[in-house]
Structure 1
Amino acid sequence: MGIGSGIVLFVIGAILAFAVDVDLGGMINLSLIGYILMTAGIIVFLLSLVLTLRRRSTVSTSRTAVDPVNGEAVTTRRTADNGDTLI
């Protein structure tokens, strides 16, 4: 679920809460369902926004050493982004 899903839930909830005026015999309260959907939409929107805008951390390590066998310089570079390691 993303930002769009949160907006859709909020809009459907607002329509049910404010625009629909149907009497279902007291069995189902559409206004209450609308408010619940609006609250769920806000929560989904905020969670998606926080996860999308979360700061990504990048760690880079570069090391150079001399190979004792043939005397060549060996460079090792590792880059990690959110726990992934590339060699």
Structure 2
Amino acid sequence: MSIGFGIFLMAVGAIIAFAVPGLWQVEGANWELIGWIVLGAGALITLLGIIMAARSGRTSQVSRTAVDPDTGTRVERTERRDDVL
């Protein structure tokens, strides 16, 4: 989701930076600077989204169920590892 939103912000920022200043001028507003800021924010959000997606893909979870031979009770063990490549 954040990758798509970042790409959307980059597109909007590019439109604001390159198209809007030629269409109209508003006193006190630098449309080109606003567009570059939105474009940079979109690039940052996209980069963070890619990093988070790569990190979440390296997690593995293993569940094991066994019966304890001494007591006859069921034992469930869950292991989570973040170092799986």
Secondary structure of residue in 2 paired with 1:66: coil
RMSD between superposed Cα atoms in Å: 2.6
Which of 6, 25, 32 is the equivalent residue of 1:23?
25
Instruction: Give the residue type in structure 2 aligned to 1:67.
Output: D
The answer for the alignment partner of 2:38 in structure 1 is 37
Equivalenced residues, count: 78
State which structure, 1 or 2, has the greater radius of gyration over its C-alpha atoms: 1
The answer for the alignment partner of 1:78 in structure 2 is 77
Q: Residue 65 in 1 paired to residue 68 in 2? A: yes
Structure 1 length-normalised TM: 0.70
* Displacement after TM superposition at 1:19 (Å): 1.4
Aligned-pair identity in percent equals 35
Separation in 2, partners of 1:58, 1:77: 17
- The runs of at least 4 consecutive aligned structure 1 residues that moved more than 4 Å come to 61-64
Structure 2 length-normalised TM: 0.71
* Displacement after TM superposition at 1:57 (Å): 2.5
The answer for the alignment partner of 2:49 in structure 1 is 48
Instruction: Give the residue type in structure 2 aligned to 1:41.
Output: G
Q: Which has the higher strand share?
A: 1
Separation in 2, partners of 1:60, 1:23: 60
Instruction: Give the residue type in structure 1 aligned to 2:50.
Output: L
Q: Which stretches in structure 2 are left out of the alignment for 5+ residues?
A: none
Separation in 2, partners of 1:59, 1:51: 18
Q: Which stretches in structure 1 are left out of the alignment for 5+ residues?
A: 83-87
